[in-house]
């Protein structure tokens, strides 16, 4: 356990900026909004640096701030998509697959709390334990959401993910 120094924090933030941007972009799909989210998260990290007790957890600590910034941004949009009743497929409780059907698009189409976990697990390659710290949920919830997500993506789960 070592308390982080401001210089170490800023070095980390500058160093890993591309990662942060990609994660933000994967949520927002908008260049300006992703830049805003990264800037907001960086700013918050500096403000709240005293809350980071252990320098070893900087990645999970900051990713959590960043994910929250992205979620706030999404909430702010308050975008409501209206779907005409005839377009609904009454026979299926499964989400329709997006037209182009690529896995990346399907991941994005998942509910945000599920997509977050899938992205962190497979794009950022974080462990389930780290993810549970980032999203502030029990490990069991993370697992449930991950399996739900994979099921919706129609991906067979081979062994332990």
C-beta of 6 vs 89, nearer to other proteins: 6
Binding of residue 88 to other proteins (CB under 8 A): no
Distance (Å, rounded) from C-alpha 68 to C-alpha 31?
Answer: 18
User: Closest separation between CB of residue 87 and other proteins, Å?
Assistant: 26
Distance (Å, rounded) from C-alpha 157 to C-alpha 124?
Answer: 18
Binding of residue 26 to other proteins (CB under 8 A): yes
User: Closest separation between CB of residue 113 and other proteins, Å?
Assistant: 18
C-beta of 7 vs 81, nearer to other proteins: 7
113-132: contacts with other proteins (CB under 8 A) = 119, 122-123
1: exposed, middle or buried (C-beta count within 10 Å: 0-12, 13-18, 19+)?
A: exposed
Q: What are phi and psi of 83, to 5 degrees?
A: -115, 120
User: Closest separation between CB of residue 31 and other proteins, Å?
Assistant: 6
Residue 155 Rama label (left phi>0; alpha psi -120 to 50; beta): beta
73-93: buried (b, 16+ CB within 10 Å) or exposed (e) per residue? beeeeeeeeeeeeeeeeeeee
C-beta of 88 vs 102, nearer to other proteins: 102
Binding of residue 155 to other proteins (CB under 8 A): yes
Binding of residue 42 to other proteins (CB under 8 A): yes
What is the total count of residues that contact other proteins (CB under 8 A)? 35
Please, are residues 118 and 150 in contact by the beta-carbon 8 Å criterion?
Answer: yes
Please, are residues 27 and 112 in contact by the beta-carbon 8 Å criterion?
Answer: yes
Binding of residue 158 to other proteins (CB under 8 A): yes
Q: What residues line the site for other proteins (CB under 8 A)?
A: 6, 10, 13-14, 17-18, 20-22, 25-26, 31, 35, 38-47, 49, 102-104, 107, 119, 122-123, 153, 155, 158, 161
């Amino acid at each position: 356990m070592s308390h982080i120094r401001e210089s170490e924090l800023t070095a980390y933030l500058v160093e890993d900026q591309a990662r942060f941007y990609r994660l933000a972009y994967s949520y927002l799909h908008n260049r300006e909004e992703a830049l805003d989210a990264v800037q907001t998260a960086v700013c918050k990290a500096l403000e709240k640096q005293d809350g980071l007790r252990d320098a070893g957890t900087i990645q999970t600590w900051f990713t959590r701030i960043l994910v929250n910034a992205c979620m706030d941004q999404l909430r702010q949009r308050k975008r409501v998509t209206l779907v005409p009743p005839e377009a609904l497929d009454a026979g299926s409780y499964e989400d329709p697959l997006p037209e182009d059907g690529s896995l990346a698009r399907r991941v994005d189409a998942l509910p945000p709390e599920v997509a977050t976990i899938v992205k962190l697990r497979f794009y950022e390659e974080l462990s389930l334990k780290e993810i549970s710290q980032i999203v502030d949920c029990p490990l069991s919830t993370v697992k449930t959401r991950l399996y739900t997500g994979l099921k919706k993506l129609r991906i067979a789960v081979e062994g332990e993910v």
